[in-house]
């Protein structure tokens, strides 16, 4: 009688030990090539191996670049901007305008940007930059102009920020399209951070010259 009880007790101990080892193995084993992605094995037991989250995507990168835009955003046309008439587009950052009040013609250089040179030998994206500016400001169109701290450059050209008649900020539009790069020259830096952020996004796309040159 005592011998039979001892035998049953021994079998129970052995069985409990085997079940514990098997359960521990099933609970611990890592995901293999054929493992269910839900984090549970074929027996419905939860594995203690974390499932990695999704990898970052390209839109997340662009969103990070957009977050660098200044809080002020793209400026509206200022109240003190003056109206001029586009007479000719020289290149991506220089136009000739006519003052309607005096009929005087002046060559204007856009502040805070630089585009590839068209002469004597056209640089990469020079023609495209000029075309983009001509689309924004075709000959005969009204353009609104406003200065920064320094009114003229070393060539005695008026330095101006420009807006289209429907309110688009031309200097910014050229950088955002990848037609121009940001050019920071003190003291005319009122919108330098905006232009730098627009260039970073254009390069990340890449847009315009940044994908072709």
What whole-number distance in Å separates Cα of residue 112 and Cα of residue 68? 18
Judge residue 179's burial from the number of C-beta atoms within 10 Å of its C-beta, 0-12 exposed, 13-18 middle, 19 or more buried: buried
Q: Which of 4, 63, 109, 168 is catalytic?
A: 109
Question: What are the beta bridge partners of residue 185?
Answer: 188
Helix, strand or coil, per DSSP, at residue 63? helix
109 tagged catalytic: yes
Q: Which of 40, 47, 63, 117 is catalytic?
A: 117
157 tagged catalytic: yes
Distance of CA 209 to the CA centre of its chain: 15
Q: Which of 40, 63, 135, 157 is catalytic?
A: 157
Apex CA 173: angle with CA 172 and CA 177, to 5°?
120
What whole-number distance in Å separates Cα of residue 201 and Cα of residue 126? 20
117 tagged catalytic: yes
Which residues have CB under 8 Å from 125's CB, separation 6+? Answer: 115, 116, 178, 179, 208, 209, 212, 213
Counting Cα atoms < 13 Å in the Cβ hemisphere of 70 gives 13
List, by residue number, the catalytic residues.
Answer: 109, 117, 157
């Amino acid at each position: 009688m005592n011998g039979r009880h001892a035998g049953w007790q021994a079998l129970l101990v052995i069985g409990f030990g085997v079940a514990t080892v098997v359960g521990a193995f099933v609970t611990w084993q890592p995901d293999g090539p054929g493992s269910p992605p839900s984090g549970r094995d074929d027996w419905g037991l939860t594995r203690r191996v974390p499932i990695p989250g999704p990898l970052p995507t390209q839109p997340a990168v662009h969103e990070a670049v957009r977050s660098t835009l200044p809080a002020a955003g793209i400026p509206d046309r200022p109240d003190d901007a003056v109206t001029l008439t586009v007479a000719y587009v020289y290149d991506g950052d220089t136009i000739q305008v006519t003052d309607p009040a005096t009929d005087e013609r002046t060559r204007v250089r856009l502040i805070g940007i630089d585009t590839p040179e068209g002469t004597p030998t056209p640089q990469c994206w020079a023609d495209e930059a000029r075309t983009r500016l001509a689309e924004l400001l075709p000959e005969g169109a009204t353009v609104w102009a406003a200065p920064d701290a320094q009114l003229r450059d070393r060539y005695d050209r008026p330095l101006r920020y420009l807006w289209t008649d429907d309110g688009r900020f031309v200097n910014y539009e050229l950088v955002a399209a990848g037609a121009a790069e940001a050019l920071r020259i003190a003291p005319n830096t009122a919108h330098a951070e905006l232009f730098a952020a627009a260039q970073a996004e254009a390069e990340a796309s890449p847009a315009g010259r940044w994908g072709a040159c």
